[in-house]
Chains A and B, each alone.
Chain A
Amino acid sequence: MTELANVFNLDGARIPFEPGQTILTAALAAGVYIPHLCAHPDFPPHGSCKLCTVTVNGRDGPACTINALPGQDVRSDSPELNEIRRVLLQMLFVEGNHFCPGCEKSGACKLQALAYDLEMLSPHFVQFFPNRKVDASHPDFLLDFNRCIMCELCVRASRDVDGKNVFALAGRSRDSHIIVNSPSGRLGDSTLSIDDKAAHVCPVGAILRKEVGFVTPIGERLYDHEPISQVDLAEEAK
């Protein structure tokens, strides 16, 4: 019996992988984009946003947490999986208050860029319009809870990279929310500093650097001309 080659099948393409790689990382390395939000090349798999849901040998699961195995048959870019992704995006949009025209992250926001790429035309569902706060107490960063999508990248970065635990996810169900670890609960009283990974990892406009808003003109922003599936592929495949 010959050993199976470290290759799996993704929408008909042969994707080579290193043992230990997930389907997502292997696909990205091979130049095939799978939509994702909470997955980040610098962090271990998290698997909460479910945007990267794929069908592996007939079973659905997130490509970011499933290890690549020889001979797997993986479906990703199909109308029905993209429909699931579109609905998940709609859920994220109605859950928070995402007012793109007023957001400094617009044009470089992964949530927005995925909505463009997957052609999410409307949020479809009844908006929750939650009453969430803005915390402007930090000298360098603005924390706008209205835009948080609970990906926990800031939580993970602060805990695992910065060693600070500035952020935590609290609550449950639709009351889930990010909290700040400081006596007052405000960002200004936390230990977050400008060099922290956690301060720069937010994929949406929830954590924003102050005093640099709108420096990139419309037309020159990250996702203005090419979809995230091309821009991020070039970035993350490095």
Chain B
Amino acid sequence: MDVGTAPKKVKIATATLGGCFGCHMSLLDIDERLLELVQLVEFDRSPITDIKHCGPCDIGLIEGALCNAENVHVLREFRANCKFLVAVGACAINGGLPAQRNRFDVGDILQKVYSDTPDGRSRVPNDPELPLLLDKVYPIHDVVRIDYFIPGCPPSGDALWKFLNDLIGGRTPRLDYPQFHFD
């Protein structure tokens, strides 16, 4: 790389909605290539930086599905600030594991979960601090426009590396066959 004309770094934000952080772990799984990556990018809001809100970014990586109202707010903040919004992993793409609750009525679930009280009566918490659950778990492309998808549960470090390299390098991101999986 020509040091004299160091290009402006690409700004990336990441977030986990209803997910397990496994996709973020995969990002760390690119191992020593992380050093290469930080030459090219800087992180805005992300569990890695602990920045709470994202400003204008080039790329937003979203892990996890939409389970509650807060997930929707975070997703909207990303959509409003990111040039390219990327759905990362099975949960973001089709609801994944969290969506396995979709066969049940969310009210029945809440009552069941909060029925273990001393008097045996169900008490669903009403604290405004707690985000309310959506009736179903939704993939993120149901709520905002998504530019790219990286499938996998989680996508491998290689897949994320290949994707980011392509995107930052100005190529249409494309996964190689062994990187393309839904599990």
A and B touch in the complex (CB under 8 A): yes
Using CB atoms and an 8 Å cutoff, list the residues of chain A in contact with chain B: 93, 97-103, 106-107, 112, 115-117, 119, 121-124, 126-127, 129, 131-132, 218, 224-227
A127 touches which one: B139, B148, B178, B181 (CB < 8 A)?
B139
B99 touches which one: A99, A107, A227 (CB < 8 A)?
A99
Given A122-B93, A122-B149, A123-B139: A99 and B177 interface contact (C-beta under 8 Å): no
Q: When the two chains form their complex, are residues A123 and B183 in contact, meaning their CB atoms are under 8 A apart? A: no
Q: When the two chains form their complex, are residues B153 and A100 in contact, meaning their CB atoms are under 8 A apart? A: yes
Of all chain A residues, the one with the shortest Cβ separation from B142 is A126
Chain B residues closer than 8 Å to A106, beta-carbon distance: 182-183
Q: When the two chains form their complex, are residues A122 and B87 in contact, meaning their CB atoms are under 8 A apart? A: yes
Q: When the two chains form their complex, are residues B93 and A101 in contact, meaning their CB atoms are under 8 A apart? A: no
B180 touches which one: A119, A124, A126, A127 (CB < 8 A)?
A119
Given A121-B151, A122-B87, A225-B178: A99 and B142 interface contact (C-beta under 8 Å): no
Contacts A102-B97, A122-B141 aside, 18 further interface pairs with beta carbons under 8 A come to A97-B102, A99-B90, A99-B94, A100-B183, A115-B182, A119-B180, A121-B150, A122-B93, A122-B94, A122-B146, A122-B151, A127-B138, A127-B139, A127-B142, A129-B102, A131-B103, A218-B183, A226-B177
Q: When the two chains form their complex, are residues B87 and A101 in contact, meaning their CB atoms are under 8 A apart? A: no
The size of the chain B interface, using a CB distance under 8 A, is 30
Q: How far is the CB of A234 from chain B (nearest CB, A)?
A: 16
Residue interface bits B84-106, CB-to-A below 8 A is 1, else 0: 00010010011111011011000
Q: When the two chains form their complex, are residues A101 and B153 in contact, meaning their CB atoms are under 8 A apart? A: yes
A129 touches which one: B87, B93, B136, B149 (CB < 8 A)?
B136
Chain B residues closer than 8 Å to A100, beta-carbon distance: 90, 153, 181-183
Q: When the two chains form their complex, are residues A116 and B177 in contact, meaning their CB atoms are under 8 A apart? A: yes
Q: When the two chains form their complex, are residues B93 and A123 in contact, meaning their CB atoms are under 8 A apart? A: yes
* A99 CA to B93 CA, complexed, in Å: 11
Among B96, B141, B181: residue with most chain A CB under 10 A: B181
Q: When the two chains form their complex, are residues B94 and A127 in contact, meaning their CB atoms are under 8 A apart? A: yes
Q: When the two chains form their complex, are residues B136 and A101 in contact, meaning their CB atoms are under 8 A apart? A: no
Given A121-B151, A129-B99, A131-B103: A116 and B180 interface contact (C-beta under 8 Å): yes
* A103 CA to B182 CA, complexed, in Å: 10
Chain B residues closer than 8 Å to A116, beta-carbon distance: 177, 180-182
Chain A residues closer than 8 Å to B139, beta-carbon distance: 122-123, 127
Chain B residues closer than 8 Å to A93, beta-carbon distance: 94
Show 5 A/B contacts (Cβ-Cβ < 8 Å), sorted by A. Answer: A99-B100, A100-B183, A122-B87, A122-B94, A126-B142
Q: When the two chains form their complex, are residues B90 and A101 in contact, meaning their CB atoms are under 8 A apart? A: yes
Residue interface bits B158-183, CB-to-A below 8 A is 1, else 0: 00000000000000001101101111
Q: How far is the CB of A116 from chain B (nearest CB, A)?
A: 5
Chain A residues closer than 8 Å to B183, beta-carbon distance: 100-101, 103, 106-107, 218
Of all chain B residues, the one with the shortest Cβ separation from A227 is B177
